[in-house]
Structure 1
Amino acid sequence: MATDVAVRAVKLVREYPRRDGTRILAVDCLTMSIAYGQVFALIGPNGAGKTTFIKMCSTLVTPTSGTLVVNGFDVNREDAEVRRTVGVQLVNRRALYWKLTALENIEFFAALHGMSAKECRRRAAELLPLMGLERQAGERVETFSGGMMQRLMICVALLHTPRLLLLDEPTAGLDPVTASDLRYHIKQFARDGSAVVVATHNMSEAEDIANNVAMIGQGKLVAYGTPSQVRALYGPTLAEAKFSGDTSGLDAALGIFPHLSLQPHGVGAVTARFSADQDLERVAATIRVRLTDTGSPATLEELNLRKPNLDDIFIHYTSAKKAQQ
C-alpha cells in the first residue's frame, strides 16, 4: 500500500492491567504522524510511554484503542505485513542468542525474514563493518560487552532494509566515538528515504539527529515539531535563578512567570527556570519585588538568561510530572 507517511497514530491508547485490578495508562490518546526521509525523536522521562509506542509500531504490543497505521498497514489487521517492513532495536540484550556467534545471529534472523543465504552474506558484509563488528563476527555473543550487543541488535534491525527503523536508546552504553558514528548512520538511513524513530533521553542527541521531535509525558503528547519549534515553547529567553534560605514560598512568589519549574538542590537551595521577556536587570528587580510582596524569605543568589534548549523542555515537563504525583 503506497503512502507518504511511515506512521500515522490517531487517538492511540495502550493500557496495562495491574495485579490489583486497576489499569496503567501507558499511552493516552496519542495522535501524530511520521514521514519518510526523516529522523523522528521521542523524548520524555522514564515511564512516559516512548517504548510502549515503539512496541506498538512493531506489533510487539497491540493498541487498546485508536488507530495505528505503519508503512500503510494497520497494526491490528495487517500485523504480518508490518513486521516485514519494520526493523526494531529494543533495550533488551536477551533479544540475541548468546550461545551463537554474531554472524550466526544474523543468519538466524535473516532466515526468519525469508532472506536467501546469498543476500544474508551480502548484508552481513555491509552491516558488521558499519557497526564496527567485522572482527567479532565469529565470536559468541556471550563474550560481548553491552555496547557490542547494542550494535549487533542494530545490525539485526537493518538486515531486511526496513522502510521504518525503530530504535530505543540506540547509543546507550556506546563510547563517544561509536555513538557519534551511529548517529551519522541514523541520519544517513533517513536521507536514503527510510523513516527512523529514536527514543532517547539524550537531548543533545535529539537536537543533533532529529528533523522532528515529540515530547511525551504520562502517555500524552505535550510538545511536537522541529527542535527549534519545541524550544520556542519557552519563548526566546529562559531565566535560570538560584535561591537559598527558606524557599518554601517560591512557587507563589514566582508564579507570575510562564513555564515555571523548581528544582531543589540539597537543603535550602532551589533552582527556578521560567520564560522571561525582559532584560537581566528587570527580571532580577521583578523577582525581588515578588519575594517582598509575597513575604518569601528566600534569597536570590544568581540569575542568568539564555536561549532555551531541549534539556529545558525535558526538565520542565519532568518537574511538572513530579509536582502532580
Structure 2
Amino acid sequence: MTDENPNLPAVSGHEGHDEVVAEPIPDPGIEPHELRITDIDPQAADRVERQVATMFALAGLLALGSCVAYFAIPRDSVLEFGPLTGNANNLVIGLCLGLGLFLIGAGAIQWAKKLMVDTEIAEDRHDAFSSPAQKADIIEGFQQGVAESGFTRRKLIRRSLIGAMGLLGLPAIVLLRDLGPLPGRSLYNTIWAKGIRVVNDVTLRPIKPSDLVVGQLVNAAPANLAPMQEESAVEYQNAKAKASVIVVRIAPDKIQAPAGRENWGIDGILCYSKICTHVGCPISLYEQQTHHVLCPCHQSTFDLADGAKVVFGPAARPLPQLPLAVDAEGYLVAQSGFTEPVGPSFWERG
C-alpha cells in the first residue's frame, strides 16, 4: 500500500491503476530578449528608416502616376503580351495602385520588424469589464506604444507615410469620373406622354379597367417602349429604367387622393413609378390589406392608397404618380407624362 497525497488530482492509467500527478507543468516564461542590429547600431537604424521612407515616397509617386495614367493613356488603347491582351489604361492604373499599396504594406512591416520595440510581454487574463484604473492603464499603454513605435520621433517616416496615404486618396477622387455623368435633367423626362397606352410589361397587351380586380397589382410599361428594342438596346434599357410603372386597383372608398389628383385614377385604378425614390431599386412587393408596396433593397414602404407617401424606410419622397384616363377603345392611357422626376432623390432635382 502506498501513501498518496489527497490534495493532488488522480489520473486514470492505462492498466486501470491511478497515477498521481506530482506537480503542474511549470510556466516556461518568456525567452530572454535578443537585441537587433538596429537596437545597438544607430547607423543601421537610420538606414532602415531611409528604406521605409523611400517605400512610402514611392507609394505616393505611384498614386500620382495612376492619376496621370487615367488622363494620359487613351481609353481604347490595348496592350498585347503574346496571346494575352488588355486595356492599357486599366492595366497601368491597376499596377500603380497595386504597387503603391504593396509598398505601404512592405514599409510598415519593415518599420515594425526593425525599428519598433519588439520586447515580448505577458499579461494575465482579466474580466471583460475594465475598471477606471484599468482604462487609465490602457491609455497609458497606448501612449507608450506610440512612443515606442518611433512615430513621433522618426519624422522622416511619419511625414512620408502621411504623404503617401494622402496621395493614395487622389486616385479614388479621379476615378469618381467613371461613375458616369451627373443626372442633370435626364430623370425629368420619360417616354410617357398624353394618350400612350399602358401595357403589361411581359405580354405587352394593353390593359383595360375590366382586366384588373380589387387588390391586384400589375407591372406595366408604355406601349411605345417595345419598338425601341429593335432600334437600340441601350436606348431601350435606359427608357425602360425610367418608364416602368406599377398599376394597382384599390377599392375607391379606401383611396385618399392628394389635392389635385382626384381625377388621376379610374375606378380605383392608380399608376405609380416602379422606381424607388431612395436609390432607384425596382419595387412591386405588394400587401393587399394595407395597400403598402415595399422596396426589397432597403425596405422603404409606400402607401399606394394615400398618394404613395412614405410610411417607413429611408426614402425621402412619395412615388411619382402617372395620371390615367381611358381611350375610345376602353384601354388605359396616360393623361400626360410624369409631372415630377422619377427615380431616386438627387441634389439637382430642385
**TM-score normalised by structure 1 residue count:** 0.26
User: Higher relative CO (CA 8 A, sep ≥ 6), structure 1 or 2?
Assistant: 1
Determine which structure has more spread, i.e. the larger CA radius of gyration: 2
Choose between structure 1 and 2: higher strand proportion: 1
